[in-house]
């Protein structure tokens, strides 16, 4: 017998659903269409609402939380501008497969389409940048829709889901029942990899003379880092990681070749182009990884493991696809390896490449350089921090020089390349991760794109270290201008227009430092890391015109890296 | 190469838009698209005609499958299938050409469904290349306007083995049996 259920308002149902989904934090911003939800929120004690200062900040914070913890990030904003401000964050989460659920207020259903005050067709706007989106037209559908939203966001290849909530739906009453199971006949992600394919992959690996593991963010998302370590170590396999894959395998391990691709290591890229077996794990052959597709790893047999069938054969045709959860496939693959390949020749070759073109570091000219700062931070935190980078030169230097040892430690906007990601994302990460230092690193350009969120960190007493690498330039754009655009430094010089960042940070209430000389770095880091009752700001005034090397020019083969030491023209 | 793809989608707000958005967002070609209810009212069938090399068509099918509202995707190309399109073609006529047009219409087994003192409207049903042929033939009379429905298609039902019945003389062997 069904027990008689009391009627509840849409707003009450909303929070009951979030409770059932074990939501700890909502990142949000109130407004007209969601007032009823905020009224109810006033009495809710099972979750915490974090007021950001801009809706974009809320979505990035939810991303940061989701990426650092593996849980679903939740956003609540109002209709119209509240909703449209979430668009960049949603697109970012879509590109980097981050599970977030964004609840947007909407004008009452009878007004939809009327150009009502604060109305925007957020369903239409976000359709191409969400894994799925829902408009709840009846309060009776609310609970089921929320259940589906969380399910879709967090399963298969994760991604953002948007739920549009018209004001009248939130205000209406109905009986509450949370569905235990979700039935979506059009959505059944494949979990188990095909047995025969896995066996075939193992046979290939046993025979391989020059195998290489190409590890993407999917390994971290599936929780398969232990399985990866097992496979790599038992078989002595070289591991190269994408930007999103960093942390999936310890960067300090001898088997790690570091990052591949445009600003990857010389030896990783050489290995990609010379290997006879390339095993892509939860990676998507992004153009920043492959360079010119036609000349990408032409000598190799390619195995691609991914939970998303669309990722397979999208950019690069592979020989053996395995659709399934990477963690599961890795475990199966490792257990199939009853004999191990002899790779001594291959490792000799890799070691040779390592010596041929190491990172061009520390010219000892007494100038403060980003690479040096990153190495110092890496040393100081022993690779244990959660590092949230922004977009640009510093992002690549972090990828090259910070030695990540844990998964979910490197948070960055890789796919969309969203400047302004770091500050709010680090706030989300700080709510999710309390036992490790959270370090936000931005350039002076990106830092100003969501600078308002500093106050969110201050208000919540988050011990985040906000680091700004200030070279007074939009550095990566400047680098391209110098290399490929006739040295026309069009609108990238901020030296005359940057604010005094230290004063700005102080005004927000942060402890603030500014560093200009390499010899100050250690002591300031020590001082800054000793402050843990509020956020800290450190500005590093670095060399203005440094460039990230090595580099594969856009559209070139990854074998043709530009480096400081090697003349690109003499390289093949 | 042109491909006819049949897609079963949830008959839900925005489902059609999701497919159209995916095609434009990913830069896939779309020659025609038609949608209507099926035998189950909560499911719609969409028939898409698209083109591209094998890699692109593979992506089209995968990306369609990836949409949450998509229940089933079938590439009908290369399979036994029935393809039909409906076209309404309004053509100018003069004294003397009216009979010619009605003849053409008969040849293509179409109907004249409207007429006034200057134009008549042909209703033609058939595979898209038949429609193209009609349009080509009547274009010499001056076409006022055309409306085409886009292709709808279904896989042919499996043909069971049927013993053919022989009419006329019975063979000696059969005589023996009797």
CA distances from A394 to A254, B63, B171, B178 (A): 25, 35, 91, 94
Give tens-digit pLDDT for A351-409.
Answer: 999 998 888 665 667 899 999 999 999 999 999 999 999 999 999 999 999 999 999 99
Which are the contacts of B172, defined by CB distance < 8 A and separation ≥ 6? none
In this prediction, what percent of chain A has a pLDDT beyond 90? 93
Verify whether the Cβ–Cβ distance B70 to A128 is below 8 Å.
no
In this prediction, what percent of chain B has a pLDDT beyond 70? 94
Three-class SS of A226-290: HHHHHHHHHHCCCEEECCCCCCCCCCCCCCEEEECCCCCCHHHHHHHHHCCEEEEECCCCCHHHH
What is the pLDDT at residue B82? 95
Helix, strand, coil in percent for chain A, rounding step 5: 40, 15, 40
Give tens-digit pLDDT for A182-205.
Answer: 989 999 999 999 999 999 999 999
Q: Which of residues 115-134 of B touch A (CB under 8 A)?
A: none
What is the pLDDT at residue A83? 98
Verify whether the Cβ–Cβ distance B55 to A313 is below 8 Å.
yes
Rounded average pLDDT over A118-123: 98
Verify whether the Cβ–Cβ distance A128 to B71 is below 8 Å.
no
Verify whether the Cβ–Cβ distance A317 to B70 is below 8 Å.
no
What is the distance in angstroms between the Cα of B68 and the nearest Cα belonging to chain A? 5
What is the helix (H) or strand (E) element at residue A13, kind and residue range? helix A10-20
What is the distance in angstroms between the Cα of B53 and the nearest Cα belonging to chain A? 13
pLDDT band at A554 (very low <50, low <70, confident <90, very high): confident
A317, closest residue in chain B (CA to CA): B55
One-character DSSP codes across A290-356: HBSGGGSSTT-EEEEEES-GGGTTSSS--SEEEES-HHHHHHHHHHH--S----HHHHHHHHHHHHH
pLDDT reading at A288 higher than 60: yes
What is the pLDDT at residue B174? 55
Taken as a whole, chain B contains a residue count of: 178
pLDDT reading at A215 higher than 70: yes
pLDDT band at A565 (very low <50, low <70, confident <90, very high): very low
User: Is-contact B158 B81, C-beta < 8 A?
Assistant: no
What is the pLDDT at residue A422? 98
What is the pLDDT at residue A568? 43
Verify whether the Cβ–Cβ distance A132 to B68 is below 8 Å.
yes
Verify whether the Cβ–Cβ distance A309 to B66 is below 8 Å.
yes
Residues of chain B within CATH 3.30.70.260 domain(s) are 2-79
Question: Which residues sit opposite B4 in a β-bridge?
Answer: B49
Identify all chain A residues contacting B12, using CB atoms and an 8 Å cutoff. none
Q: Which of residues 117-156 of A touch B (CB under 8 A)?
A: 123-124, 127-128, 131-133, 135, 137, 152
Verify whether the Cβ–Cβ distance B68 to A131 is below 8 Å.
yes
CA distances from A407 to A66, A208, A292, A403 (A): 13, 28, 29, 12
B5-25 residues labelled b (16+ CB within 10 A) or e (exposed): bbbbbbbeebbbebbbbbbee
A284 lies within 8 A of chain B by CB: no
Tokens for A563, please give them. Answer: 């480096």
B70 lies within 8 A of chain A by CB: yes
Dist. CA A532–CA A510, nearest whole Å: 11
What is the distance in angstroms between the Cα of B43 and the nearest Cα belonging to chain A? 11
Compute how many other C-beta atoms are within 10 angstroms of the C-beta atom of residue B156. Answer: 10
Q: Which of B23, B59, B66, B72 to mutate to test the interface with A (most CBs of A within 10 A)?
A: B66
Verify whether the Cβ–Cβ distance A186 to B69 is below 8 Å.
yes
Give tens-digit pLDDT for B44-101.
Answer: 999 999 999 999 999 999 999 999 999 999 999 999 999 999 999 999 999 899 999 9
Verify whether the Cβ–Cβ distance A186 to B66 is below 8 Å.
no
A113 lies within 8 A of chain B by CB: no
Dist. CA A288–CA A262, nearest whole Å: 5
Identify all chain B residues contacting A187, using CB atoms and an 8 Å cutoff. 68
Which are the contacts of A205, defined by CB distance < 8 A and separation ≥ 6? A211, A235, A277, A279, A333, A337, A341
Which are the contacts of B114, defined by CB distance < 8 A and separation ≥ 6? B90, B120, B121
Identify all chain A residues contacting B45, using CB atoms and an 8 Å cutoff. none
What is the distance in angstroms between the Cα of A128 and the nearest Cα belonging to chain B? 6
B13, closest residue in chain A (CA to CA): A135
What is the distance in angstroms between the Cα of B154 and the nearest Cα belonging to chain A? 20
What was the ipTM of the complex prediction? 0.90
Question: Which residues sit opposite A441 in a β-bridge?
Answer: A389, A467
Q: Is A222 left (phi over 0), alpha (psi -120 to 50) or beta?
A: alpha
Give tens-digit pLDDT for A493-550.
Answer: 999 999 999 999 999 999 999 999 999 999 999 999 999 999 999 999 999 989 999 9
Residue that has been written with the tokens 């232990």 in this structure: A226
Strand A48-51 relative to strand A25-28, pairing: parallel
pLDDT reading at A311 higher than 50: yes
User: Is-contact A515 A539, C-beta < 8 A?
Assistant: yes
**Domain range B2-79, its CATH number among 1.10.10.60, 3.40.630.10, 3.40.50.720, 3.30.70.260:** 3.30.70.260
Catalytic amino acids of A? Answer: 55, 117-118, 167, 476
Strand A511-515 relative to strand A256-259, pairing: unpaired
Question: Which residues sit opposite A8 in a β-bridge?
Answer: A174
Compute how many other C-beta atoms are within 10 angstroms of the C-beta atom of residue A452. Answer: 17
What is the distance in angstroms between the Cα of A312 and the nearest Cα belonging to chain B? 9
For the domain spanning B82-155, the CATH number is 3.30.70.1150
Verify whether the Cβ–Cβ distance B68 to A310 is below 8 Å.
no
Identify all chain B residues contacting A137, using CB atoms and an 8 Å cutoff. 13
User: Is-contact A345 A255, C-beta < 8 A?
Assistant: no
DSSP state, residue A101: E
What is the pLDDT at residue B168? 66
Give tens-digit pLDDT for A355-365.
Answer: 988 886 656 67
Residues of chain B within CATH 3.30.70.1150 domain(s) are 82-155
A121, closest residue in chain B (CA to CA): B14
User: Is-contact A313 B58, C-beta < 8 A?
Assistant: yes
CA distances from B149 to A470, B33, B125 (A): 60, 8, 10
Identify all chain A residues contacting B9, using CB atoms and an 8 Å cutoff. 186
């Amino acid at each position: 017998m069904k027990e008689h259920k009391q009627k509840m308002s849409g707003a009450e149902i909303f929070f009951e659903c979030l409770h059932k989904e074990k939501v700890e934090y909502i990142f949000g911003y109130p407004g007209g269409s969601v007032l009823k939800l905020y009224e109810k929120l006033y009495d809710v004690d099972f979750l915490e609402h974090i007021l950001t200062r801009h809706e974009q900040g809320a979505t990035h914070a939810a991303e940061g939380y989701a990426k650092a913890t593996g849980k679903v990030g939740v956003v609540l904003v109002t209709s119209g501008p509240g909703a449209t401000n979430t668009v960049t964050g949603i697109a970012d989460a879509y590109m980097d497969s981050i599970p977030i659920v964004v609840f947007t207020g909407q004008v009452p259903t009878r007004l939809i389409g009327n150009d009502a005050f604060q109305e925007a067709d957020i369903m239409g706007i976000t359709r191409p940048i969400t894994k799925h989106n829902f408009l709840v037209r009846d309060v009776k559908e609310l609970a089921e829709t929320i259940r589906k939203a969380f399910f879709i966001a967090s399963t298969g290849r994760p991604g953002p889901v948007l739920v549009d909530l018209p004001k009248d739906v939130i205000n209406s009453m109905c009986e509450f029942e949370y569905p235990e199971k979700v039935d979506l006949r059009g959505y059944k992600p494949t979990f188990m990899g095909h047995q025969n394919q896995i066996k075939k992959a193992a046979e290939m690996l046993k025979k391989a003379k020059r195998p290489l593991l190409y590890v993407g963010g999917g390994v971290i998302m599936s929780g398969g880092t232990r399985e990866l370590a097992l496979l790599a170590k038992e078989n002595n396999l070289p591991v190269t990681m994408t930007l999103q894959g960093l942390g999936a395998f310890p960067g300090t391990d001898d088997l790690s070749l570091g990052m591949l691709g445009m600003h990857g290591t010389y030896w990783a890229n050489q290995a990609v182009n010379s290997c006879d077996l390339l095993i892509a794990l939860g990676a998507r052959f992004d153009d920043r990884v492959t360079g010119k597709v036609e000349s990408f790893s032409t000598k190799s047999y390619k195995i691609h493991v991914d939970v998303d069938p669309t990722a397979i054969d999208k950019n690069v045709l592979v020989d053996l696809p395995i659709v399934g959860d990477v963690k599961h496939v890795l475990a199966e693959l490792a257990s199939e390896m009853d004999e191990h390949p002899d790779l001594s020749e291959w490792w000799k070759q890799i070691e040779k490449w390592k010596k041929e073109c190491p990172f061009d570091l520390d010219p000892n000219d007494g100038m403060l350089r980003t690479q040096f700062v990153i190495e110092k931070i890496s040393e100081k935190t022993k690779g244990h921090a959660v590092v949230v980078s922004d977009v640009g030169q510093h992002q690549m230097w972090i990828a090259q020089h910070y030695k990540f040892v844990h998964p979910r430690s490197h948070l960055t906007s890789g796919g969309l390349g969203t400047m302004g990601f770091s500050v709010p994302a680090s706030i989300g990460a700080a709510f999710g991760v309390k036992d490790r230092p959270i370090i936000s690193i931005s350039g002076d350009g990106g830092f100003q794109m969501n600078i308002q969120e500093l106050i969110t960190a201050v208000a919540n007493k988050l011990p985040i270290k906000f680091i700004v690498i200030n070279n007074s330039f939009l550095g990566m754009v400047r680098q391209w201008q110098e290399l490929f655009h006739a040295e026309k430094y069009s609108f990238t010089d901020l030296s005359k227009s940057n604010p005094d960042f230290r004063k700005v940070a102080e005004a927000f209430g942060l402890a603030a430092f500014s560093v200009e000389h390499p010899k100050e770095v250690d002591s300031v880091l020590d001082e800054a890391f000793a402050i843990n009752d509020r956020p800290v700001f450190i500005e590093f005034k670095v060399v203005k015109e440094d460039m990230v090397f090595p580099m594969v020019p856009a559209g070139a083969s990854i074998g043709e890296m530009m480096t400081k030491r090697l003349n690109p023209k003499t390289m093949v | 190469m042109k491909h006819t793809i049949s897609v079963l989608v949830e008959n839900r707000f925005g489902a059609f838009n999701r497919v159209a958005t995916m095609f434009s967002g990913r830069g896939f070609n779309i020659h025609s698209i038609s949608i209507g209810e099926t035998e189950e009212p909560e499911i719609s069938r969409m028939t898409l005609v698209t083109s591209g090399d094998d890699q692109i068509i593979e992506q089209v099918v995968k990306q369609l499958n990836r949409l949450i509202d998509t229940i089933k995707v079938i590439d009908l190309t290369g399979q036994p299938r029935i393809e039909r399109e409906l076209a309404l073609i309004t053509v100018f006529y003069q004294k003397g050409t009216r009979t010619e047009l009605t003849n053409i219409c008969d040849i293509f087994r179409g109907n004249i469904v409207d007429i006034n003192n200057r134009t008549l409207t042909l209703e033609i049903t058939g595979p898209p290349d038949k429609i193209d042929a009609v349009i080509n033939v009547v274009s010499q009379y001056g076409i006022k306007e055309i409306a085409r429905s886009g292709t709808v298609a279904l896989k042919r039902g499996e043909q069971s083995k049927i013993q053919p019945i022989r009419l006329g003389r019975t063979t000696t062997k059969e005589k023996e049996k009797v």
